[in-house]
Amino acid sequence: MVYSANEQRYAEMRYRRCGKSGLLLPAISLGFWHNFSGGDPYERGRETVLCAFDAGITHFDFANNYGPPPGSAEIAFGRIFKNDLLPYRDEIIVASKAGYDMWPGPYGNWGSRKYLMASCEQSLKRLGLEYLDIFYHHRPDPETPLEETMGALADIVRQGKALYAGISNYDAAQTKQAAALLRTFGVPCLIHQTKYSMLHRVPEEGLLDTLGAEGIGCICFSPLAQGLLTGKYLNGTAPEGSRAAKGGFLTPAALTPELVRKLNALNGIAKEGGRTLSALAIQWLLRDSCVTSVLAGASSTAQLRENLAALSQPALSPDELARIEAALTE
């Protein structure tokens, strides 16, 4: 059936300015690290993407290696884009990244100009796009001069292959250096993609302050700690089909009694406020004006809708924030 986007798609979503740029991003963005691989059903992925777009999620996040196999998430989205979203290209922000192992040999990993230029071209082909909205360096490379990596990002922007440049997984000091270099190349660092959630608070140790001072936007990945901050693991086991049950970066070993106690305490606070745990986790991140967007994953439209409900609830009160802090630190 021919897709026609919901005419009310911009009514509910909130858009937040990305650092000191002109770009607004949705409070919740959709990530394609899992659930959109060559092995996942195309129709389920399509439904999720279109449900997201219909709800005002304009930002879709990829990396060259998302799959498995690497590249298959971009290919799957390319198909959805071509079949359904082509008329809406100017309403969509597509990001991709390079920095992890992608192809054999010395030029398919880390941060060389050779790798970044080639990977950007490959992503464009897989996605079926003429340009990316954001192109990131995915992780710092200890061996390649930062000038080379940032120079490649700036040239990718100057060549029109991406509209904006971003970095991911850089610490505060690396971020300052990268931002300074990009400025000298006349291409500001738009955005930093960092792992941040109630269970992973490293960005509070300097990175968020740096992003604020530099005027760089912040998009938080794994905001639900890969699903731990949802209702599904509260009894301490990994339900069939869940990310933890499938194994990989999250395994059932993460479900320690201490963590499960913490999750249940957080869930109690959520329930008292009439929220789900996932909504609490999302609202907790959005409490900080430095955070531009919460980059969540979803393996179904039901999950996506539950997460989107976070945006129609009142902000967390000072009392709720204090109780969350106590639950996290006890």
Ligand X SMILES: NC(=O)c1ccc[n+]([C@@H]2O[C@H](COP(=O)([O-])OP(=O)(O)OC[C@H]3O[C@@H](n4cnc5c(N)ncnc54)[C@H](OP(=O)(O)O)[C@@H]3O)[C@@H](O)[C@H]2O)c1
The contact set with ligand X (CB under 6 A) reads: 31-35, 61, 138, 168-169, 193, 221-227, 230, 232, 242-243, 278, 295-299, 303, 306-307
Nearer to ligand X, 176 or 243 (CB): 243
Task: Please count the other Cβ atoms lying within 10 Å of the Cβ belonging to residue 209.
Answer: 13
To ligand X, the closest distance from the beta carbon of 301 in angstroms equals: 11
Residue number with the smallest Cβ distance to ligand X: 31
Structure tokens at 281: 């986790």
Name the amino acid, one letter, at 304.
L
CA atoms within 13 Å, Cβ hemisphere of 53: 25
101 touches 138 (CB < 8 A)? no
Nearer to ligand X, 74 or 306 (CB): 306
To ligand X, the closest distance from the beta carbon of 293 in angstroms equals: 10
Nearer to ligand X, 181 or 310 (CB): 310
To ligand X, the closest distance from the beta carbon of 186 in angstroms equals: 25
To ligand X, the closest distance from the beta carbon of 276 in angstroms equals: 7
To ligand X, the closest distance from the beta carbon of 287 in angstroms equals: 17
To ligand X, the closest distance from the beta carbon of 35 in angstroms equals: 5
Nearer to ligand X, 56 or 297 (CB): 297
